[in-house]
């Protein structure tokens, strides 16, 4: 039997068992010792991962009767690696067309992914379904595209209310806005900056993406194939601005959401928006409110004794713009993550006389050339939107619990390959880790588990002593012209940069809506791994991201480029389904209930 036939045979048995509502028959097709079912909306109208037969049975007992899943088939050729046979799959329900991925071991299911791809009758207006644009023949009172666009801008938010308001116009906000536009959901994006893309343009001058361009493409539009592998902040800002215009998004610049309250009687939000140009206020009444403000939008600035006495310049990394003008100056950067490294390198390149990084705890560092020396299927990823969609499904086929297992040997190989690099960093006094469990960069980022850096040059400056490091010490006091550390040493300083990260996004809920609701929602991001900054219980999926919250009609949108592209699809579908009054009964697993209880207790 070939690999594709093995997948097809399993799908046939699986489909038959589902049609018979035979949960025991379904479970017989899964591995006994370990199995995973990752469902995105199809059965659960939630984003969750069942991690055992027991959890799968619990999910099916509540969802199987209402989910008519049929016509399961392989979608392309199957492959085999290390005894695991895998293939993309597709199927349908009465409501939707669906895609997924299946991995078999010894003929039994190890991992299955089921995702709701599009709602029947409510598909994205793209490709063959795109609007015609021109009405042929004579139509009295017809309007041009520009006239219709201007009319929409005049009416939406004024005489007509949007169904959705997105707070934040960065990568997450505009990706979701584009998805909702394609689904015909009236949406306004509220952004406090003057132009689309300013969220990138306003960062420090040397900022570039640390991920290759083939991972970063947006919905419906790839980056130009002539662009560099790693994109500068100003190129990214220009792309954002063009994307907003080309996608025809309703994007309110120079506007800031000042408060939001949910009217339970009316079933909508009351959102107060200030036009920063003329300080006028307008009230929007969307049914759904989506927060897409990045990690949080609130800088974390530690409070040090004597900070008010400092005679130099002190600034959070989010407000640092360039190393220019600091030639011959003594600069201290508190923190050892991405921003700290980039700012230290910028200051050194611009001629600062002394640059010192203060590293309180260890940092995960990976050389960019090592991490991306063999990017998989680059040609295919650059080829088309459909290729990226296949990659996005494949990306979901490794549950987070398995990611830890796979990442540990990967980083062991990296450490062995770059041992001399790490030895030189350690000798320079820089503390290195690969996460609490050795699983490295990606999971540390998802868990909010401390500092990380993809090396694009700063590490070599540290290893050579060009950038000084003070590791394992804290700031005891800030003096008028110096910093006193906990080990009794003192450094002169003209510039003090706090590269100390951001508060959890729940702080934005507290400011915009209420502290009570922020506490009820709980922490945003993290997996519940019980590692640093990521309290349990284990969730299997990221906390509160892209899925229903404990409060109705409130959603969180965010993430890296490689996350916002696929996840904007699933959030947009949830919103479209609710707009069309399609039943969306949400299955809440036990871990979610426990997490809510924990949030309320804390």
> What secondary structure does DSSP assign to 393-421, as a single string?
HHHHTS-HHHHHHHHHHHHHHHHHHTHHH
Asked if 449 and 532 touch (Cβ cutoff 8 Å), the reply is: yes
What CATH code is carried by the domain that includes residue 483? Answer: 3.50.50.60
Token pair 């339970």 in the structure block, residue: 264
Whether residues 511 and 484 fall in one domain:
no
Per-residue model confidence as pLDDT tens digits over 341-376: 999 999 999 999 999 999 998 999 999 888 766 444
Q: Give the pair of three-digit tokens for residue 57.
A: 């049975």
Residue 361: inside a domain: yes
How is residue 382 written in tokens? Answer: 């650059």
127 part of a folded domain: no
Q: Are residues 360 and 458 in the same domain?
A: yes
Q: How many CB atoms lie within 10 A of CB 285?
A: 14
Q: What is the pLDDT of residue 385?
A: 65
Determine the pLDDT at residue 451. 85
| Rounded Cα–Cα distance for residues 30 and 18 (Å) | 13
> 446 and 311, same structural domain?
yes
What distance, in Å, lies between the first and last C-alpha atoms of the chain? 55
Answer yes or no: is 28 within a domain. Answer: yes
Domain assignment present for residue 533? The answer is no
**Residue 592 counted as domain residue:** no
Nearest-Å Rg of the Cα atoms of the chain is 25
276/329 same-domain check: no
Residues 318 and 288 in one domain: no
Residue 594 has pLDDT above 90, yes or no: no
Residue 424 has pLDDT above 80, yes or no: yes
* pLDDT value, residue 593: 52
Q: Which residue has the tokens 């086929």?
A: 397
Could you tell me if 361 and 494 lie in one domain?
yes
User: pLDDT for 241-272, tens place per residue?
Assistant: 999 999 999 999 999 999 999 999 999 999 99
Closest to 571 (Cα-Cα) out of 27, 33, 166: 166
User: Of 12, 565, 25, 556, whose CA–CA distance to 296 is shortest?
Assistant: 556
Q: Could you write out the DSSP letters of every residue in 18-83?
A: HHTT-HHHHHTTB-SS--EEEEESTTTSSEEEE-SHHHHHHHHHHHGGG---EEEEE-S--EEETT
Total count of domains within the chain: 3
Q: Write the CATH number for 67.
A: 3.10.450.50
DSSP string, 416-431: HHTHHHHHHHHHTT--
Apex 419 CA angle, 417 and 423, nearest 5: 165
Residue 132's pLDDT is 82
Per-residue pLDDT, 16 = 97
Parallel, antiparallel, or unpaired: how do β-strands 96-105 and 84-92 relate? antiparallel
For residues 320 and 450, membership in a common domain is answered with yes
Q: In the predicted model, what is the mean pLDDT of residues 141-156? A: 89
Helix/strand/coil (H/E/C) assignment for every residue in 425-452? HHHCCCCECCCCCCCCHHHHHHCCCCCE
Q: Which two tokens stand for residue 582?
A: 């399609």
Strands 108-119 and 96-105: antiparallel
As a whole number of angstroms, the distance between CA 338 and CA 446 comes to 15
Q: For residue 344, give the 3-state DSSP assignment.
A: helix
Q: Which of the listed residues 66, 101, 119 is the one where a domain comes to its end?
A: 119
Q: Do 240 and 355 lie in a common domain?
A: no
CB 544 within 8 A of CB 522: yes
pLDDT digit string, tens, across residues 329-343: 999 999 999 999 999
Q: Mark whether 170 and 286 lie in a shared domain.
A: yes
> 160-190, pLDDT tens digit by residue?
999 999 999 999 999 999 999 999 999 999 9
For residues 335 and 453, membership in a common domain is answered with yes
Do 105 and 157 share a domain, yes or no? no
CA separation (Å) from 333 to 38, 203, 268, 336, 491? 42, 16, 45, 8, 12
Q: In percent, how much of the chain has pLDDT > 90?
A: 73
d(CA 574, CA 272): 25
Q: Ranked by mean pLDDT, which of 125-129, 166-170, 206-210, 588-592 comes out on top?
A: 166-170
Please state the pTM of the whole predicted model.
0.93
Q: What is the pLDDT of residue 296?
A: 56
**What would the pLDDT profile of 195-233 be if each residue is shown by its tens digit?**
999 989 988 888 888 788 888 899 999 999 899 988 999
Among 96, 119, 142, which residue terminates a domain? 119
Which range of residues forms the domain containing residue 101?
3-119
Q: Which helix (H) or strand (E) holds 236?
A: helix 233-246
597 domain residue, yes or no = no
Determine, yes or no, domain membership for 537. Answer: no
Residue 163 to residue 396: CA distance in whole angstroms: 29
Are 64 and 87 part of one and the same domain? yes
The pLDDT of residue 569 is above 90: yes
The tokens for 337 are: 């993550």
**Per the domain annotation, does 595 fall within a domain?**
no
User: 505 φ, ψ to 5°?
Assistant: -65, -20
Nearest to 358 by CA among 456, 479, 473: 473
């Amino acid at each position: 039997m070939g690999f594709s036939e093995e997948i097809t045979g399993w799908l046939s048995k699986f489909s038959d068992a589902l049609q018979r509502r035979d949960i025991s028959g379904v479970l017989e097709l899964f591995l006994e010792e370990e199995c995973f079912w990752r469902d995105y909306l199809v059965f659960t109208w939630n984003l969750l991962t069942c991690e055992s037969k027991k959890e799968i049975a619990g999910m099916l007992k509540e969802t199987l009767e209402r989910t008519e899943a049929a016509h399961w088939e392989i979608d392309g050729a199957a492959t085999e690696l290390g005894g695991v046979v895998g293939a993309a799959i597709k199927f349908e329900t009465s409501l939707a067309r669906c895609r997924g991925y299946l991995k078999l071991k010894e003929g039994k299911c190890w991992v299955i992914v089921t995702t709701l791809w599009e709602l029947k009758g409510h598909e994205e207006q793209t490709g063959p379904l795109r609007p015609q644009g021109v009405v042929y023949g004579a139509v009295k009172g017809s309007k041009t595209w520009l006239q219709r666009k201007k009319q929409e801008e005049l009416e939406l938010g004024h005489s007509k209310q949007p169904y959705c308001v997105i707070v934040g116009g960065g990568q997450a906000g505009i990706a979701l806005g584009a998805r909702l536009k394609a689904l015909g959901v009236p949406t306004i994006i509220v952004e406090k900056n003057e132009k689309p893309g300013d969220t990138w343009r306003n960062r420090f001058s040397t900022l570039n993406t640390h991920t290759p361009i083939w991972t970063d493409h947006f919905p419906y539009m790839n980056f130009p194939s002539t662009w560099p592998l790693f994109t500068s902040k100003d190129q990214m800002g220009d792309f954002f601005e063009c994307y907003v215009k080309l996608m025809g998004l309703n994007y309110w610049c120079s506007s800031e959401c000042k408060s939001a309250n949910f009217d339970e009687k009316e079933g909508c939000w009351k959102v107060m928006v200030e036009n920063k140009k003329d300080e006028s206020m307008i009230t929007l009444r969307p049914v759904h409110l989506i927060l897409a403000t990045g990690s949080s939008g609130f800088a974390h600035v530690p409070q040090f004794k004597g900070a008010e006495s400092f005679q130099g310049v002190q600034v959070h990394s989010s407000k640092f713009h360039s190393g220019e003008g600091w030639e011959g100056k003594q600069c201290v950067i508190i923190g050892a993550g991405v921003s700290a490294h980039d700012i230290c390198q910028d200051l050194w390149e611009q001629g600062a006389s002394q640059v010192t990084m203060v590293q309180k705890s260890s940092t995960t560092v990976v050389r960019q050339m090592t991490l991306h020396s063999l990017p998989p299927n680059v040609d295919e990823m650059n080829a088309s939107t459909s290729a990226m969609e296949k990659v996005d499904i494949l990306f979901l086929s490794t549950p987070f619990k398995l990611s830890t297992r796979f990442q540990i040997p990967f980083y062991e190989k990296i450490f062995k390959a770059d041992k001399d690099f790490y030895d030189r960093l350690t000798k320079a006094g820089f503390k290195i880790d690969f996460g609490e469990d050795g699983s490295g960069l990606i999971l540390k980022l998802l868990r909010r588990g401390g500092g990380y850096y993809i090396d694009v040059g700063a590490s070599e400056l540290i290893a050579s002593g060009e950038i000084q490091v003070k590791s394992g010490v804290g700031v005891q006091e800030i003096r008028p012209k110096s910093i006193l550390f906990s080990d009794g040493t003192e450094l002169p300083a003209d510039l003090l940069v706090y590269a100390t990260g951001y508060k959890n996004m729940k702080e934005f809920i507290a400011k915009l809506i209420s502290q009570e609701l922020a506490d009820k929602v709980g922490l945003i991001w993290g997996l519940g791994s019980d590692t640093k900054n990521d309290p349990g219980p284990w969730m299997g999926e990221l906390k509160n991201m892209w899925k229903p919250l404990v409060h109705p009609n409130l959603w969180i949108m965010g993430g890296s480029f490689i996350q916002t592209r696929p996840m904007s699809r699933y959030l947009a579908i949830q919103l479209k389904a609710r707009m069309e009054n399609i039943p969306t009964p949400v299955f809440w697993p036990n871990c979610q209930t426990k997490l809510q209880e924990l949030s309320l207790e804390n």
